[in-house]
A and B are shown apart, each in its own frame.
Chain A
């Protein structure tokens, strides 16, 4: 192996088409470096990264036996990989390469002072050579990966993610907390912008998912524990019993008398504790609502039958996890816009359910009365202002826009107008945000339909109060309307609809188990909105849909497919490869102080283990490379210098610092 021989260093300085050579006297620097120990050859070139430049290096490795390479060029970000590639092509370990940034770090910033720029170039390059002498071959960390992904959440995003992962040829397990699939979308009727039936769309999707041979689904199941890392997660799952089977379901359902408010209809109706949320749901087998079932036996043909939840626990080994746990609609606190106090105040999701349950008639009925006038208030629970709105549990207000409610509201007004053309609709908003493709049309139609738009300021929200006795309408809405130049307007109405926003869901510790964080808005947080918009800071844990922030169906689908693409790139080859720049312990020097373990903030990266040394029990630090990010916190605290980051060792740093500060003999000659 060439790497085990005496270092024979090849040094290459790039003119970068004048970018570097305009400030740095490259030839002089090369000449000076030639005198350094172990430097076998120095060359300069117009453009090292060009094919011609790269072949120069390859040729030198093959013909001159060069076994360490240093290139001074642009920033490593741009071309370090390029040169590692060239070195590898010539048969050398890619980590026997060191890159010096002579452009961004030198010529571009010191272009006005050529002498200083040349001096700095020489110092930076000799530091590179000093490091190169100590370079050792390294291997990337290769780990086997389960070609199996877990999707948490069976709403539209989770279903889509599962389908797309399965279509990439990987196995996928989907876990849904409720006993039925579909999530929030199942509670919608027609959806914008296509006006298709939500449950028909879901039905198609569920059919594809359940028919796919790569997919396994667990309903009524929750994640109880997570361990491991990308490629090799172990997931503890608990699945509740369904409680009934297809054989006894109908008999038990008819025997069941206990009723609870139906969450599917946001409490507008009641349902039994053995239930199907809606006709055509998946699975079609009813389930027992264990949270509410009072445990009393059912009387089936004179037989008392008691149902018991007997949860099953099991483990899954997966390579990646997709979190698609969705959102909750905002529930206004008692009294916000009269909610919970006035029976004529409902939320938009409730109105959607109410309309679905209403028989078609001449007029919209609410509380046994015909509704003639309705007011729709936007931004309820969204775009909240400190000091104006009641804070959430954590003391913060929801200062984000929920993105979906504007179009959902105008989609609703279109539906109301179509069904009840006589209805007067007032729309109270701050801005109308119908941003998406096919959304602005709803705004236009609303204007054509005669919806009356009023605009309030975020700091001066409308007031909802009971109308005085004897008024024609039960409720009075007061608003300072900016569209009529701030006029105070009172609108008597029969119904107030609150366009509630999206709330991040309480995940009962799942986010902690997965070690993923939430943003200021409390939704799950991506690594970087542009570079890695669906990935979390935990490698192998990926987000899909409205768990990450408000999204409509189309956006949830895109995010889910994107998550599937990330899973496929990660697991497709059945192995994951990580860069080798992680900590390594020299067991000869380590005497088990444990300072490193304390300094490390990455769980599972470094730990003390007990070894038997000459019959004596000793503790030594051990690195798990997959969990180490190479930050070097342990290096800084080790009293024995027993730990080093591979590829960036202390010895290498010291050699570089020494070289930078050295009074190079050739210096005066070079810069003269």
Chain B
């Protein structure tokens, strides 16, 4: 591949990265958007409906994804890993590895014939591994690009897909390829993971079948979810009672995660409201320390959930175990009465918090919380410790979609000012930007 020159390089194609790229592209800058997954969309595209408006998540995300894909100034690089970032004048040389898809994306039409043909069924991380797809597949129905990708971990190399493909897009000869992009500025939009609970023995360390993470519940509530309805993953039962354990992995010294993850109160309330619609007979209880519904319209959202009959119980969940039928049993210290009670549920959701995505690719100073450090939040909230590199979305700490989108536009403003002031494009070209 040829070496390329871009005004900005955005790392991470979640909602934050997409918005930054769109804002820069709209201003006429040339932007590379590099995503490590085979599709852009990030966490948001996996969600069901989004608070506080409760609008369908894909109705908001897919148009952005499509706008990114068709934007004349945005150059999309999916299924790529950043290998190194080197200063080059005021800008950077970014070395990027294109992982082999074993599919020629210039030919693939996303028809999924190969996927139907592939004999082996594998867990789909898009469905938090509770759903499945095949070793070769289009990652999910609204993926951008809508192209197949082959997973060498599970592939039998039987060649059936190649025979089936109507446009001869399967290419077994693909190799990893490295290329370099010279970029005047970089925006980090690498997003988040859920706080791991494998070390949280009191909560079953992730081993109890009917104690799930909140992204799983998002998939159950989504129309494209693995079961097409809400079932507990242990045995396919429609749950009649569901509990949420707030601050599971946030504000928790024992896990070394002392900060508030900011979105868990709201997503728990949202899911409780959606469950109320999906399973009108189900009892839903939220165990919490503080309810932090601080955003615009969020307090009313909380009050609506209360009015709907969601039980909010102030209490600290000390431990979770399960009975013989794999029903989780919570042991709760009730704040308002001081009692310790035990309560059995069909399904428990751990409202896990937000930690930085596990792939730090660019060496940048980090805060004590592990997120990319922002040295001067009260004067420059998107500026990192390395000149020319900006940060947005949950890469800069927990935040919801609204805050991520605002922060993404802010990062774009910072980056574009930096490019104008330091960028290496010829003066004439810069003038032409606004011609």
A residues with a Cβ closer than 8 A to B are: 15-18, 46-47, 50-53, 77-79, 81-82, 85, 147, 164, 167-169, 191, 193-194, 196, 201, 204-205, 383, 399-401, 403, 431-441, 444, 482-483, 485-486, 519-521, 523, 528-531, 533-534, 548-549, 553-555, 557-562, 564-566, 568-569, 572-574
Contact = CB atoms under 8 A, between A and B. Distances in A.
A569 B53 contact: no
B249 to A, nearest CB: 14
A325 B369 CA distance: 34
B402 A530 contact: yes
Nearest to B115: A17
Contact of B296 (A486, A549, A566, A574): A549
B413 A565 contact: yes
Nearest to B337: A485
Nearest to A548: B296
Contacts of A400: 296-297, 299-300
A548 B121 CA distance: 49
A616 to B, nearest CB: 47
Interface string B127-164: 00000000000000000000000000000000000000
A568 B416 contact: yes
A50 B338 CA distance: 63
Interface string B262-297: 100000000000000000000000000011111111
Interface in B1-34: 23, 26-28
A376 B341 CA distance: 33
B259 A437 contact: yes
22 contacts: A50-B110, A52-B107, A53-B109, A169-B434, A194-B376, A431-B291, A436-B260, A437-B374, A437-B377, A440-B260, A444-B258, A482-B314, A519-B296, A520-B297, A523-B296, A528-B53, A561-B411, A562-B407, A565-B27, A566-B409, A573-B435, A574-B434
Interface in B359-406: 367, 369, 371, 374, 376-382, 396-398, 401-403, 405-406
Contact of B336 (A164, A191, A439, A485): A485
A194 B28 contact: no
Given A50-B167, A565-B412, 12 more contacts: A15-B111, A46-B109, A46-B167, A52-B109, A167-B413, A432-B290, A439-B260, A530-B402, A557-B410, A558-B410, A565-B413, A572-B28
B420 A167 contact: yes
B227 interface: no
Given A168-B420, A486-B336, A573 B28 contact: yes
A47 B169 CA distance: 13
B174 interface: no
- Interface centre among A167, A383, A435, by most chain B C-beta atoms within 10 angstroms, is A435
Contact of A440 (B52, B251, B413): B251
B308 interface: no
Interface stretch (B58-66, B74-82, B90-98): B58-66
Nearest to A75: B62
Contacts of A521: 296-297
Contacts of B295: 403
Given A46-B167, A399-B300, A78 B62 contact: yes
Contact of A82 (B70, B374, B378, B402): B70
B113 interface: yes
- Interface centre among B251, B314, B416, by most chain A C-beta atoms within 10 angstroms, is B416
B53 A47 contact: no
Contacts of A559: 406, 410
A531 B53 CA distance: 11
B381 A558 contact: yes
B433 interface: yes
Given A401-B298, A557-B410, A529 B52 contact: yes
B166 interface: yes
Contacts of B28: 572-573
A250 B189 CA distance: 53
A431 B289 CA distance: 8
B218 interface: no
- Interface centre among B28, B296, B410, B413, by most chain A C-beta atoms within 10 angstroms, is B413
Interface in B409-435: 409-414, 416-417, 420-421, 433-435
Contacts of B173: none
Contacts of B407: 558, 562
A535 to B, nearest CB: 10
B84 interface: no
Contacts of B290: 431-433
B104 to A, nearest CB: 11
B292 A562 contact: no
B50 interface: yes
Given A52-B107, A434-B260, A565-B412, A482 B434 contact: no
A526 to B, nearest CB: 8
B303 interface: yes
Nearest to A563: B409
A169 B420 contact: yes
Given A47-B111, A529-B296, A565 B434 contact: no
A81 B382 CA distance: 33
A50 B109 contact: yes
Contacts of B113: 17-18
Given A52-B107, A433-B294, A440-B260, A399 B299 contact: yes
Contacts of A533: 402, 405-406
Nearest to B380: A557
Contacts of A205: 379
A564 B413 contact: yes
A45 to B, nearest CB: 8
Contacts of B110: 17, 47, 50
Contacts of A553: 378
Contacts of A523: 296
Contacts of B414: 164, 561
A340 to B, nearest CB: 26
Given A435-B292, A436-B262, A523-B296, A561 B53 contact: no
- Interface centre among A50, A519, A530, A534, by most chain B C-beta atoms within 10 angstroms, is A530
Given A434-B260, A482-B336, A561-B410, A530 B300 contact: no
A557 B296 CA distance: 17
Nearest to B144: A78
B112 interface: yes
**What 6 pairs across the A-B complex have the smallest Cβ distances?**
A17-B111, A47-B109, A562-B409, A561-B410, A167-B417, A431-B290
Nearest to A192: B378
A633 B397 CA distance: 47
B335 interface: yes
A651 to B, nearest CB: 30
B106 interface: yes
Nearest to A444: B258
Contacts of A78: 62, 66
Given A435-B260, A568-B416, A530 B376 contact: no
A151 B199 CA distance: 51
A557 to B, nearest CB: 5
A572 B27 contact: yes
B367 to A, nearest CB: 7
A400 B379 CA distance: 27
Contacts of A528: 53
A267 B105 CA distance: 68
Contact of B294 (A47, A399, A435): A435
A211 to B, nearest CB: 14
A204 B380 CA distance: 12
A193 B434 CA distance: 38
B427 to A, nearest CB: 12
B388 to A, nearest CB: 15
B260 A191 contact: no
B292 A433 contact: yes
Given A46-B111, A399-B300, A437-B371, A529 B53 contact: yes
B337 A194 contact: no
Contact of B377 (A81, A194, A520, A530): A194
Contacts of B63: 77
Given A440-B260, A573-B434, A167 B378 contact: no
